[in-house]
Amino acid sequence: MTTSLFFLMWGLATALALPLLLPFHARGVEGVPAFTAANALAVLSMLAYASAAIVPPSAYVMVSNTAWVGSVALVYIGVRQFFGLRPHVLRTVVLSSLCTFAFALLLYRNDNLGGRMVLFSAYTCVLVSATGRVIFQQRKRIHTPGVVLYMMLAVFGLAALHALRIFVYGAGLEAPVSLLQPSAWGLFFIVCGSVTVPGLFLALLLMIQTSQSEKMQAALTFDSLTQAYSRRSILDELEHELQRCERAGGKLAVLVLDIDHFKSINDRYGHAAGDTALRHYAQVVQNAVRASDRFGRLGGEEFVLLMYDCDPARALVHAQRVCDALRDTPLYLQGLEVPMTTSGGLASYQSGDSADGILARADVALYQAKEQGRDRVEMAWSGRGASRAGGAMASGAPMPAPEAAGTTA
Average pLDDT, stretch 21-27? 87
Where on the phi/psi map is residue 309: left (φ > 0), alpha (ψ -120 to 50), or beta?
A: left
For residue 387, pLDDT beyond 50: no
For residue 87, pLDDT beyond 70: yes
Contact 124, 159 (CB under 8 A): yes
Number of H helices, E strands in the chain: 13, 7
pLDDT of the residue at 403: 30
Residue 154 CB contacts under 8 Å (≥ 6 apart), including other chains: 196, 199, 200, 202, 203
Contact 346, 380 (CB under 8 A): yes
Average pLDDT, stretch 80-107? 95
Give the range among 3-12, 39-48, 124-133, 233-242 with minimum mean pLDDT. 3-12
Compute, in degrees rounded to 10, the torsion defined by CA atoms 4, 10, 11, 12. Answer: 110
The pLDDT tens digits for 342-361 are 999 999 999 889 999 999 99
Average pLDDT, stretch 386-404? 35
For the stretch 68-72, contacts whose Cβ atoms lie closer than 8 Å and that sit 24 or more positions apart, written own/partner, are 68/41, 68/42, 68/120, 68/124, 69/96, 69/99, 69/100, 69/103, 69/123, 70/37, 70/38, 70/41, 70/96, 71/38, 71/39, 71/41, 71/42, 71/45, 72/38, 72/123, 72/124, 72/127, 72/128
Tell me the helix, strand and coil percentages in the chain, rounded to 5: 65, 10, 25
The pLDDT tens digits for 139-186 are 999 999 899 999 999 999 999 999 999 999 988 888 888 888 888 998
Active site residues: 301
The percentage of the chain sitting over the pLDDT mark of 70, rounded to a whole number, equals: 93
Residue type, 267: D
Residue 361 CB contacts under 8 Å (≥ 6 apart), including other chains: 345, 347, 380, 382, 407, 408, 409
pLDDT of the residue at 3: 81
pLDDT of the residue at 147: 93
Q: Which of 281-285, 334-338, 384-388 has the highest mean pLDDT?
A: 281-285
For residue 392, pLDDT beyond 60: no
Query: Residue 382 — pLDDT band, cuts 50, 70, 90?
Result: low
